[in-house]
């Protein structure tokens, strides 16, 4: 199945070269994802089994896509009701450095109680309401990717891989928070200090504009109701998942339904022309659909690599050639910048049982840190990065030039701190 790898690499290069080829990355990702599965189906001796694998993966992918769609729609509803003004009106600084620290700290904390994907969507939308200059917005968005992944790594509900390890019994809540909090802080703090030293001057807020065609903007009470309800729904998804044991997208969809009902009642007295901009139907048209399709294509391609056994073989190769636990964890973290961290961690969980590495073993905790934060090194290495790339239209090579090296330094600094911390206090 070498052809699948070749197609994946060529697709990856084409996505990275979007600005040179002038082909939308969503189109490239979709072609890459479908081609990988097509080649797998043609070369496989059991096509029925390929269909079964595809159906299984599609169920998992649909969960992510519905979650993403729901989160983006709720954030869009908050935006069209000017709900983010409740936050932006309280951020009075016009200093790039001060804003950098405010954005970084809020993202880090929010990601730990929400998740890195939703946090990235919320914070990028917030930055767009705060900053007028495109380049400054992209720098802040790059920081959001690093902060969201760092904040999610130390929380059992902040990142999918950490949640997987928690549910699988590899880590416990107390241990993962206690041992990964400071390394995650270092992972964010180092890039923030470097960026802060390089940033100078101030920025301007965007000019106030109402939705085109709307002469009746949301009232103060409506703004507060939508903001509080939307934020409560986003924050309530992890609680919903914990209580019901249903997947997160179910919590997001019921939340979207609640928001839909509230907005319908709230604007029921307006005529159709005045209320259309405040409806969920309008918000659904405004969300970035190409980003969702890009996500689908990327995940399909990675699922093909997983089904053909390439990711498991890669994890096994790492296991054979790297005997040191630190090297294994760091290698998987670096690899997660290229391919999705979920199948990599799943492969690792399958290779190492709890007899070899018991619950709360050093390796599991280091794996949670590395797989959670390593994806920041490339813009398409994490769900947060893919969402930010779509929302702010960040170029792949711009991210490599401006953000990747900062993310790498932060990742290695946090990893070094984790090793030192374990040696000093837990060995």
Domain spans in the chain, listed from the N-terminal domain onward: 58-300+363-426
Supply angle C-alpha 378, 380, 382, rounded to 5.
Answer: 90
Identify the pLDDT of residue 216. Answer: 59
Question: Phi-psi region for residue 205, left (φ > 0), alpha (ψ -120 to 50) or beta?
Answer: beta
CA distances, 6 to each of 1, 377, 396, 405 (Å): 9, 22, 20, 27
**pLDDT exceeds 80 at position 222:** yes
Q: How far apart are the first and last CA of the chain?
A: 43
**Distance from C-alpha of 76 to C-alpha of 120, rounded to nearest angstrom:** 13
Q: What is the 3-state secondary structure of the chain?
A: CHHHHHHHHHHHHHHHCHHHHCCCHHHHHHHHHHHHHHHHHHHCCCHHHHHHHHHHHHHHHHHHHHHHHHHHHHHHHHHHCCCCHHHHCCCCCCEHHHHHHHHHHHHHHHHHHCCHHHHHHHHHHHHHHHCCCHHHHHHHHHHHHHHHHHHHHCCCCCCHHHHHHHHCCCCCHHHHHHHHHHHHHHHHHHHHHHHHHHCCCECCCCCCCCCCCCCCCCCHHHHHHHHHHHHHHHHHHHHHHHHHCCCHHHHHHHHHHHHHHHHHHHCCCCCHHHHHHHCHHHHHHHCCHHHHHHHHHHHHHHHHHHHCCHHHHHHHHHHHHCCCHHHHHHHHHHHCCCCCHHHHHHHHHHHCCCCCCCCCCHHHHHHHHHHHHHHHHCCCCCHHHHHHHHHHCCCHHHHHHHHHHHHHHHHHHHHHHHHHHHHHHHC
pLDDT, tens digit, 9 for 90 and up, residues 335-366: 888 877 777 787 788 777 788 889 999 999 99
Supply angle C-alpha 163, 168, 174, rounded to 5.
Answer: 60
Among the listed residues 374, 418, 356, 342, the one whose alpha carbon sits nearest the alpha carbon of residue 146 = 374
- Sign of the torsion angle spanned by Cα atoms 336, 175, 324, 420: positive
User: The tokens of 91 are what?
Assistant: 């951020």
How far is C-alpha 12 from the chain's CA centre? 18
Q: Work out the pLDDT band at 290, boundaries 50, 70, 90.
A: confident
How many C-beta neighbours within 10 Å does residue 46 have? 10
- Which residue has better confidence, 261 or 289? 261
Identify the pLDDT of residue 161. Answer: 85
Identify the pLDDT of residue 91. Answer: 84
- Sign of the torsion angle spanned by Cα atoms 170, 328, 143, 199: positive
pLDDT, tens digit, 9 for 90 and up, residues 77-110: 988 888 888 888 888 888 999 999 999 999 999 8
Q: Which residue has the tokens 């997987």?
A: 164
How many C-beta neighbours within 10 Å does residue 179 have? 22
Identify the pLDDT of residue 208. Answer: 58
Highest mean pLDDT among 14-23, 256-265, 345-354: 256-265
Mean pLDDT for 321-337 is 89
Q: Work out the pLDDT band at 45, boundaries 50, 70, 90.
A: confident
- Which residue has better confidence, 157 or 98? 98
Mean pLDDT for 131-141 is 91
Among the listed residues 328, 349, 342, the one whose alpha carbon sits nearest the alpha carbon of residue 382 = 342
- As a whole number of Å, the CA-based R_g of the chain is 22
**Distance from C-alpha of 281 to C-alpha of 270, rounded to nearest angstrom:** 16
- Which residue has better confidence, 197 or 348? 197
Residues shown for the chain: 427
**Distance from C-alpha of 280 to C-alpha of 258, rounded to nearest angstrom:** 11
Q: Work out the pLDDT band at 327, boundaries 50, 70, 90.
A: very high
**Distance from C-alpha of 322 to C-alpha of 278, rounded to nearest angstrom:** 55
Supply angle C-alpha 134, 233, 145, rounded to 5.
Answer: 35
Full-model pTM: 0.84
Q: What average pLDDT is seen over the chain?
A: 87
Q: Work out the pLDDT band at 48, boundaries 50, 70, 90.
A: confident
Mean pLDDT for 311-328 is 84
Percent pLDDT > 90 in the chain is 37
């Amino acid at each position: 199945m070498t052809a699948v790898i070749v197609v994946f690499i060529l697709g990856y290069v084409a996505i990275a070269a979007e600005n040179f080829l002038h082909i939308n990355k969503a189109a490239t990702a979709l072609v890459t994802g479908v081609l990988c599965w097509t080649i797998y189906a043609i070369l496989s001796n059991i096509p029925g089994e390929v269909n079964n694998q595809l159906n299984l993966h599609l169920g998992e992918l649909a969960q992510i896509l519905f979650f993403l769609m729901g989160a983006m729609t709720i954030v869009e509803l908050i935006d069209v009701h000017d709900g983010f003004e409740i936050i932006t009106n309280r951020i009075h600084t016009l200093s790039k450095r001060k804003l950098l620290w405010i954005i970084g700290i809020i993202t880090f904390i929010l990601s730990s109680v929400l998740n890195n994907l939703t946090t990235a969507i919320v914070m990028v939308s917030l930055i767009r309401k705060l900053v007028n200059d495109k380049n400054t917005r992209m720098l802040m968005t790059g920081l959001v990717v690093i902060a969201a992944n760092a904040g999610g790594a130390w929380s059992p509900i902040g990142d999918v891989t950490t949640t997987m390890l928690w549910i699988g019994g590899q880590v416990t809540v107390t241990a993962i928070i206690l041992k990964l909090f400071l390394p995650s802080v270092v992972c964010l703090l180092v890039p923030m200090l470097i960026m802060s030293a390089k940033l100078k001057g101030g920025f301007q807020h965007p000019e106030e504009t109402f939705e085109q065609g709307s002469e009746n903007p949301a009232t103060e009470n409506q703004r507060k109701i939508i903001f509080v309800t939307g934020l409560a729904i986003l924050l309530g998804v992890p609680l919903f998942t914990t209580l019901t044991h249903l997947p997160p997208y179910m919590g997001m969809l019921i939340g979207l339904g609640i928001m839909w009902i509230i907005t319908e009642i709230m604007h029921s007295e307006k005529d159709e022309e005045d209320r259309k901009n405040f409806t969920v139907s309008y918000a659904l048209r405004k969300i970035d659909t190409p980003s969702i399709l890009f996500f689908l294509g990327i995940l399909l391609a990675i699922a093909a690599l997983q089904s053909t056994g390439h990711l498991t073989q890669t994890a096994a190769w790492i296991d054979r050639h790297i005997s040191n636990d630190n090297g294994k964890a760091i290698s998987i973290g670096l690899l997660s910048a290229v391919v999705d961290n979920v199948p990599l961690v799943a492969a690792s969980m399958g290779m190492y049982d709890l007899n070899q590495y018991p619950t709360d073993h050093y390796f599991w905790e280091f794996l949670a840190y590395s797989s959670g934060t390593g994806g920041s090194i490339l813009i398409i290495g994490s769900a947060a990065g893919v969402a930010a790339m779509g929302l702010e239209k960040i170029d792949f090579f711009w991210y490599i030039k401006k953000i990747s090296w900062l993310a790498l330094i932060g990742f290695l600094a946090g990893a070094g701190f984790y090793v030192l911390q374990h040696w000093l206090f837990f060995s």
